[in-house]
A and B are shown apart, each in its own frame.
Chain A
Amino acid sequence: MAQEFIVDGDRISAPLTSQPGDAVRGRAIVVDRQKGLCLLCHTGPFAEQKFQGNLAPDLSGVGSRLDSGQLRLRLVDSLKINPQSIMPSYYRADGLHRVGTNWRGKTILSAQDIEDVIAMLASLSEADAGGVQK
């Protein structure tokens, strides 16, 4: 089950864990198509990753557009920002319909996974994205 968190506008300001996020672990989660699933829908600055999806915004430079608190709410439960969003709620285990037995009562990512992914996404700056990704 997911622990409690406080939504503050379009942010969850407080980290979900006491251990700081690890951007290297976060990158591995983002590119893992069984775990983070991110690149099924998003494109991003991950040159070695073929076949990135284009259903959702490009992640290049996302760290310049959104702060960690904004990223946290978008990962935890994007529907709180846009009820029509197709982005899965990565840290939610209730209120879902007909969840498969293997997944029932579980969140897509753990609290620490979320913090690791935030650390990685926050490091993606517009400056780094440069002309390469556009």
Chain B
Amino acid sequence: MIRTALIAFTTTVAVTAIAQIAPGERRSGAEFMSPSTQAMQKDDTSNPGMLAALEGETLWNAPAGNEGKSCASCHGPADKSMKGVAARYPAIHQSTSMPVDLQGRINLCRSDNQKASPLRFESRELLALTTYVALQSRGMPVSPPDDARLDPFRNQGETLWRQRFGQLNFSCAQCHDDNWGKRLGSAPIPQAHPNGYPIYRLEWQGMGSLQRRLRNCMAGVRAEPFGFGSDEFIALELYLMSRAAGMPMETPGVRP
């Protein structure tokens, strides 16, 4: 009983005393990195994520599925048609009225239009195509759609952001809103903005999606991570994009 009362109290306090990062205080994760890692991201010839983007360009132009169509068959050159697209996602998918993220949208295009099988989450191909599409938004401001249908999902994402998880009992907000800039062991705590994804993470020696990164954090607090493509991750991504609105897209980000 005492435990239940305590949890109820905690929840109430969290809702009434929400600390958010002021717009002028927002910092990209890149700003918390060492100068050498920053330089690696900035220089396209040393940014390993550009290899994924190059592979994505090949895939963009390669016919796939029973229709024998490539992405380019319908969309033409990505540098025009995909400009700004990643900065707007997740967005409502018209035929289902449900939110979908960029990876999910690529797979819907494959199944609906190319009649191709969906690409597996975290597969080289899906990360490459997503990186290539997101690269077309680099430098553009994160621009969440002004679509009221997204609001309940954004709200769900914010609730998850403030929910304590796992044996260590941390919420995302406790580290990334309340304690950013401090050090967890050797690692500076960033603000957790989603504007560089997919990223090349040195710890992974490879590319990964925002969902992979969120799963890492959940495992870190000894929580059962949400599944790839789960409603919870789409909701969190929606909230994170609204929280980062106006910040420039950086894909492909490099992170330690």
CB–CB B167/A53 < 8 A: no
Residue of A nearest to B168 (CB): A88
Chain A 84-98 interface mask (CB, 8 Å, partner B; 1/0): 101011000011111
What's the A-B contact tally at a CB cutoff of 8 Å?
83
Smallest Cβ distance from A131 to chain B, in angstroms?
Answer: 23
CB–CB A83/B185 < 8 A: no
* CB < 8 Å neighbour of B169 from A55, A89, A100: A89
Smallest Cβ distance from B3 to chain A, in angstroms?
Answer: 5
A111 at the interface (CB under 8 A from B): no
- Interface stretch of the complex, out of B5-13, B28-36, B57-65, B90-98: B5-13
- Interface stretch of the complex, out of B71-79, B137-145, B216-224: B216-224
Smallest Cβ distance from B160 to chain A, in angstroms?
Answer: 10
CB–CB B13/A55 < 8 A: no
Q: Which residues of A contact B178 (CB under 8 A)?
A: 86
User: With contacts A79-B6, A83-B13, A86-B174 known, is A99 near B184, CB below 8 A?
Assistant: no
Smallest Cβ distance from B58 to chain A, in angstroms?
Answer: 38
B182 at the interface (CB under 8 A from A): yes
Which of B9, B163, B179 counts the most A-chain CB atoms under 10 A from its CB? B179
A41 at the interface (CB under 8 A from B): yes
Q: Which residues of B contact A101 (CB under 8 A)?
A: 224
* CB < 8 Å neighbour of B183 from A53, A79, A84: A53
Query: Interface residue count for A (Cβ, 8 Å)?
Result: 30
CB–CB A53/B182 < 8 A: yes
Residue of A nearest to B163 (CB): A97
A39 at the interface (CB under 8 A from B): yes
User: With contacts A53-B185, A55-B182 known, is A83 near B6, CB below 8 A?
Assistant: yes
Residue of B nearest to A89 (CB): B169
Which of B170, B174, B183, B218 counts the most A-chain CB atoms under 10 A from its CB? B183
Residue of A nearest to B178 (CB): A86
Docked CA distance A97–B226 (Å):
12
A11 at the interface (CB under 8 A from B): no
CB–CB B10/A96 < 8 A: no
B165 at the interface (CB under 8 A from A): yes
Smallest Cβ distance from B7 to chain A, in angstroms?
Answer: 6
Hey, which bits of chain B sit against chain A, CB under 8 A?
3-4, 6-7, 9-10, 13-14, 163-170, 174-175, 178-179, 182-186, 189, 218-219, 222-225
- Could you list some 5 contacts between A and B, CB below 8 A? A54-B183, A55-B179, A79-B6, A100-B166, A100-B222
* Smallest CB-CB A-B distances: 9 pairs: A51-B186, A103-B167, A83-B10, A103-B222, A95-B3, A88-B168, A40-B185, A98-B223, A100-B224
